[in-house]
Amino acid sequence: MPIDIATNLSTIQQRIDRACQRSGRDPHQVALIAVSKKKPADLITQAAAAGQPLFGESYVQEFIDKQQQISTPIRWHFIGALQSNKVKYLRGTTELIHSVDRYSLAKEINKQWASIDQTANILIQVNVGAEQSKAGATAENVEELVRRIATLPNVKIQGLMALPPYDDDLEQVRPWFRQLRQLAQQIDDLHIPQVSMNTLSMGMSHDFEIAIEEGATLIRVGTAIFGERE
Ligand SMILES: *Cc1c(COP(=O)(O)O)cnc(C)c1O
């Protein structure tokens, strides 16, 4: 059966609305990122036609290739692991880079965006579960990293992102989301110049409702919109 992207999107929006209702939040404070990695450009066009304005990609080459095939104006976030030598290909194409976890990467982003006289919006990725297999600053060194990156003139930190340990039991995931929100609050309380902690990118297909209850402002949903990936 072909997937019905418009129906999937409206089902997810209803679930977002209910999660907001449960937690006393305004649904306008939660933006859905349609994660389209490994999905063809025509599905992205379909989702855009169904009213979805914002998409997330994880692989630089794939992103650039698909972007060229899509004429609909849409907004892109980059959410995947990023090597410094690929940053130049993203220059000026993305509204937000979610996955900055080291100074050297931020420095390269700063250089590339400076060359077009723009400022890149970024999030600091935090490895909340301190998992070996995952990227991200540790909760312990995130403050120092934020302070260093904040000195770069063409990069603006907007908040934090995390990909917590997977668990079938969503109540086991909740504390990780809460920890990210608390970390953002702690950093916000430091009033570091040029640093905003208004954006919390957390929650995926299986756990986005819990993430919303814990304060997510951006949720990154792929499978629940586009179906399983190859
Ligand atoms: C792939 C991916 C997602 C989407 O995951 P789904 O389980 O398909 O919703 C979200 N965030 C990141 C960083 C990803 O790489």
CA 35 to ligand 1 center in whole angstroms: 6
Burial profile 125-142: b = 16 or more Cβ within 10 angstroms, e = fewer? bbbbbeeeebbbbebeeb
- What is the token pair recorded at 222? 């792929």
Domain with 148 in it: what CATH number?
3.20.20.10
Count up the domains in the chain and report the number.
1
100: helix, coil or strand?
strand
Contact (Cβ atoms closer than 8 angstroms) between residue 55 and residue 34: yes
Tell me what the mean pLDDT of segment 103-110 comes to. Answer: 98
Q: Name residues contacting ligand 1 (CB within 6 A).
A: 35, 37, 58, 79-80, 163, 204-205, 220-224
Q: What is the extent of the structural domain holding 41? A: 5-226
Tell me what the mean pLDDT of segment 181-190 comes to. Answer: 98
Q: What is the pLDDT of residues 123-179, one digit of tens each?
A: 999 999 999 999 999 999 999 999 999 999 999 999 999 999 999 999 999 999 999
pLDDT at 2: 75
Q: Is the pTM of this model over 0.95?
A: yes
Tell me what the mean pLDDT of segment 78-92 comes to. Answer: 97
Spatial separation of the C-alpha atoms in residues 51 and 72, rounded to whole Å: 11
Select from 8, 35, 100, 221 the residue to mutate for testing ligand 1; criterion: most ligand atoms less than 8 Å from CB. Answer: 35
Confidence of residue 1 (pLDDT cuts 50, 70, 90): low
Spatial separation of the C-alpha atoms in residues 65 and 60, rounded to whole Å: 9
Nearest ligand 1 atom to alpha carbon 58: 15
pLDDT above 90 covers what percent of the chain? 97
Tell me what the mean pLDDT of segment 48-73 comes to. Answer: 96
Q: What is the pLDDT of residues 4-31, one digit of tens each?
A: 999 999 999 999 999 999 999 999 999 9
Q: How high is the mean pLDDT of the chain?
A: 97
pLDDT at 95: 98
User: For the CA atoms of 58, 59, 64, 70, what is the dihedral angle to 10 degrees?
Assistant: -50
